[in-house]
Amino acid sequence: MKTIIAEKPSVAREIAGLVGASEKKDGYLTGNGYFVTWAFGHLIGLGMPEDYGISGFDKTALPILPNPFLLTVRKVKKNKSYAADTGALKQLKVIEQLFNRSNSIIVATDAGREGELIFRYIYEYLKCNKPFERLWISSLTEKAIKQGFHTLKDGKEFDGLYQAAQGRSRADWLVGINATQALSIAAGNGIYSLGRVQTPTLALICKRYLENKSFSVKKYWQIQLSHTKEFTDFKSLSKNRWEDKKLAEDTLKSIERNGNTATVTSVEIKTATEQPPLLFDLTGLQKEANKKLNLSAEETLNIAQSLYEKKFITYPRTGSKYIPEDVWAEIPNLVRALQDRETCKQAVSKIKWGRFNKRIVNDLRVTDHHGLLITDKIPSALNAKENSVYDMIAFRLLEALSQACIKEITDVSLQALHYDFTAKGCKVIEVGWRSIKGSFSDDDTEPVQDLPELKKGDELKIKEASVLEKKTKPPVLYTEAGLLSAMETAGKEIENEDERKALQNIGIGTPATRAAIIETLFTRNYIQREKKSLIPTEKGLQVYELVKDHKIADVAMTAEWELALQKIENNEADAKGFQKEMETYASSITNELLQTSIAQNNLPKLACPKCKSQQLIIRDKIVKCPNEVCNWVQFRNVCGVQIGITDIESLINKRKTTLIKGMKSKAGKKFDAYIVLNDKAESSFEFAKNKSYKK
C-alpha cells in the first residue's frame, strides 16, 4: 500500500478520484492500493517557550535559543492558555496509522516551500522513516495530475527546499519570540510584537507616512499656451517654474505684448517599442488587483487559491513570470478555450494566430512554478470577484502573446519671447498588445495629445495663454499595491551600491507570504486603511520609533536573509550556518532591545474616574483601574475604532471625547458619536442630536 498525503481535503478528493481510491473512511479515502489522506495546513509547528519550561516573559531566560527545536501539534487558544487542537490531533492519528500500514508515501502537499514544510514536520514529528516520493505539479487539472504521477521525483531531491523552509521557520521563531519578549519587558506596558519580516515592513510604512506628513507643499506657477495648426489643437507648457505668481503673470503679459507668437526651435521624433507585459506572478496579480479592483493582497491570494482548487488556473503562489519550453505547446489550446468565455471573446479575436510572441518562454527564469496561466477548463459560474481576477489572468495571457505596441513620440521645443516651452505628442503606429484591452497608457492621468506636423522655424499663433497654479507633491502614502512593490524590490531602497546589486532580484518576504505579513500588521493594530492608503496607527508609530535605529527594522538585512534562504533551497549554502547566524542575531537584538529606554512619561497620568484614588493603567487594548475592588475599565477599541490617547484623556478629564467617526453598529451600519461618562463613571454614546444609550 502507498499513502498519498495532500495539503487539503479538496485536493485529496481530486487525487483519490484519479487513482481509484473511492472508499470513504474517517479522515482518508482508500482503494486500488492507495490510502489518500490530508493535512489541514500546518498540523505541526515549532514549540512555544512554555514547551521548553519557560513561562511568561522572563528577562533572565532571554535569549531563548532552543537546541534542539521541539515540534508540537498545532495549538489553539483556550481561556488564557493554549491547548492542542483536537481536530489536528485526530487527523494526525489517522496519518500516523496510514503511514504505519504503508510501504511508501507520495507527498502531494502544495509544491512550494510551505507545502514541503507541512509534510516534513509531520514526517519528523511521527518519527517516520518510510521512503517518500514527491508529486510536483503546477495545476490541478486531470492531465497535470496524471502527468505528475508518471514523473514522481525522489523525496530527497527536495531536501534543499525543506532546509530553506525549516530555516525560515526557525529564523522567524528566534527573532519573533526573543524580540517581542525583550521589547515588551523593556516597555512594561503591553505586548509589542516584532518579527523578522513584519517589522521592516512596518518600518517602510511608517517612514513613508512620516515623510509624507513632514513634507512642506510648495506652490509654483507655469505658463500654458494653446495653438492650432492644420485644424489640430495642442498645448505647450513653460520649462520655467515661477515661485512668484506675479512674476509668471508679468511674463505672460510680456509674451502677449510681443506679437503673441511662438517659434518652433526643435522637433525630435523617436519610435518607442513597448513590449507586452509578461505573465503575472502572485505579487504582480496582487498589485494589479489592488489598483484596479481595490482587493487586499490576502483577498487576491484567497481568490486565486480558490480558482486553483476549482482547476481554472495554475498554481498561484508563484514567483515567476515565465513558462518553460514544454508548456509552450499547450498555449494555443488555452487561447482557443477562451473563445467560449463571453468576456474574453472579443479579445481573443484580436490575437494574431501563427504570430504568438514567445517572450514568456524562458526555462532559466522558471522557479518552483511557472507564471500564472488559465487551464483549459473554462469557468461558467463564479462570483463577481472571482470573475474579475480570472479575467485579469486571462487577459494578461492574451496580452503577453501579442506583438509589441509601437508608438511615435514627438518632443517639440518652442520659444515665446526668450522663454522655452515644450509640447509632447504621441501617435500609435502599431497597436499590438494594447488592442487586447484597448488602453494606450498605463497612467490614465496623463492624456497624450496628437500633434500636427511641425518643423524647426514654424511660427505659431498663441490662441490662448494662462498661468497654471501647481503644487509640489509629497511622497505618496503606500497603497497595498505600492507596499507589495516596495517589499518586492527592497534592494532598490538601499544606498550602498554593492549591496543594492546583490539584492536587486530579492525582496522581503516571498510571493507566498507577503499577503500574510501585511495582514499581521493589521491584526497587531500597527496599521490601518485610510481610503486606499495604508497608514500606521498610534501603536505602529510607537513601535517604529522604538526600533527604527535597530537592525530588526533594516529592510536590507531581511532581504539578505531571503537571499541566503534561496541559496539553501538551491543547495548552494549550508542551513546550519544560517541558523547559527540567526541565533547570534537574535542574541544581539535581544540585548539591544532590553536596553531600550522607553519613555513612560509620554502616557498621561490619569486618576480613575470611579474610585478617584488610583492612577489608571493605560494599555493598547484597555484602560483600567489597578484596584480590583473598583475594577473600572474602558476598552480602547469601540465598535471597530481605536480610541486615541488624547480622547482617553478627554474622556477622563472632561467626561466626553471628541466626535468619534466611522464606528460600526452590530448591524454593520456606520455612525459617529461622542463617548461620555455619567456620574457613576459608566460610558455611553452621545449623538449630535443628544440621543444616548449605554454601551
| Predicted confidence (pLDDT) at residue 334 exceeds the cutoff of 80 | yes
Let me know whether 446 and 480 are in one domain.
no
What ranges make up the beta strands (E) of 172-317? 219-229, 232-238, 261-274
> Contact at 8 Å (CB) between 285 and 392?
yes
- The answer to whether residue 433 scores a pLDDT higher than 60 is yes
The answer to whether residue 320 is domain-embedded is yes
Q: Which long-range contacts (CB under 8 A, 24 or more apart) does 226-231 make?
A: 226/462, 226/463, 226/464, 226/465, 227/262, 227/460, 227/461, 227/462, 227/463, 228/461, 228/463, 229/452, 229/454, 229/458, 229/460, 230/452, 230/453
260: confidence class by pLDDT, cuts 50, 70, 90 = confident
Q: Could you give the CA distance from residue 225 to residue 466 in angstroms, rounded to a whole number? A: 7
pLDDT of residue 151: 93
User: So what's the pLDDT on residue 599?
Assistant: 46
Question: Is there a domain that residue 501 lies in?
Answer: yes
Tell me what percent of the residues of the chain surpass a pLDDT of 90.
64
Judge whether 695 lies within some domain: no
DSSP string of 463-503?
A: -EEEEEEEE--PPPPPBHHHHHHHHHTGGGG-SSHHHHHHT
Express each pLDDT in 76-132 by its tens digit.
887 777 888 899 999 999 999 999 999 999 999 988 888 999 999 999 999 999 999
Q: Which domain holds residue 21?
A: 1-164
| pLDDT (average), residues 607-629 | 85
Inform me whether the pLDDT recorded for 601 exceeds 60: no
Residue 448 has pLDDT above 80, yes or no: no
Does pLDDT of 291 surpass 50? Answer: yes
Angstrom distance (rounded) from CA 549 to CA 551: 7
pLDDT of residue 169: 95
- Reported pTM: 0.81
Q: Same domain, yes or no, for 365 and 428?
A: no
For the domain that residue 526 is a member of, what is the CATH number? 1.10.460.10
CATH of the domain at 146: 3.40.50.140
Question: Average pLDDT for residues 511-520, to the nearest whole number?
Answer: 92
Domain co-membership, 507 together with 571: yes
Judge if 9 and 98 occupy the same domain.
Answer: yes
Least confident of 325-339, 392-406, 458-472, 542-556: 542-556
Task: Domain count for the chain, please give it.
Answer: 5
Q: Quick: pLDDT tens for 293-330.
A: 999 999 999 999 999 989 999 999 998 999 988 899 99
Distances (CA, A) of 351 to 326, 396, 428: 22, 12, 18
| Predicted pLDDT of residue 381 | 87
Contact (Cβ atoms closer than 8 angstroms) between residue 4 and residue 108:
yes
Domain boundary among 164, 196, 231: 164
pLDDT, tens digit, 9 for 90 and up, residues 7-18: 989 899 989 999
668 and 519 in a common domain: no
The per-type count for the chain, helices as H runs and strands as E runs, is 20, 29
Does any domain span residue 606? no
Output the domain CATH number for residue 314: 1.10.290.10
Query: Is residue 73 in a domain?
Result: yes
Among the ranges given (43-57, 108-122, 496-510, 658-672), the one the predictor scored with the smallest mean pLDDT: 496-510
Can you read off the three cell numbers belonging to residue 20? 481509484
In the listed set 560, 593, 626, which residue is the last one of a domain according to the structure? 593
Which pLDDT belongs to residue 445?
47
If phi over 0 gives left and psi between -120 and 50 gives alpha, with beta otherwise, what is residue 599?
A: beta
Predicted confidence (pLDDT) at residue 632 exceeds the cutoff of 50: yes
pLDDT of residue 348: 93
Asked if residue 603 is part of any domain, the answer here is: no
Q: Residue 638 pLDDT more than 90?
A: no
Query: Which runs of consecutive H residues, i.e. helices, occur in 350-438?
Result: 384-401
Residues 188 and 296 in one domain: no
Same domain, 302 and 226: no
Assess whether 485 and 566 both reside in one domain: yes
> Do 151 and 193 have their domain in common?
no
Classify residue 601: in a domain, yes or no. no
Q: Is the model's pLDDT at 650 over the cut of 80?
A: yes
What is the enclosing helix (H) or strand (E) of 31? Answer: strand 28-31
pLDDT at res. 314:
93
Sign for the CA dihedral angle at 515, 516, 522, 525 comes to: negative
Q: Is 585 a catalytic residue?
A: no
**Residue 36 banded pLDDT, cuts 50, 70, 90:** very high
Grid cell, residue 206, equals 511608517
pLDDT band at 692 (very low <50, low <70, confident <90, very high): very low
Flag whether 28 is in a domain. yes
Please pick, among 162, 315, 478, 526, the residue that the annotation labels catalytic: 315
- Quick one: pLDDT at residue 407? 93
Give residue 159's identity as a one-letter amino acid code.
D
Same domain, 127 and 32: yes
Q: Do 457 and 489 reside in the same domain of the chain? A: no
Segment 462-485 shows an average pLDDT of 94
Say if residue 51 is in the same domain as residue 87. yes
| pLDDT on residue 534 | 96
| Range of lowest pLDDT (39-53, 597-611, 618-632) | 597-611
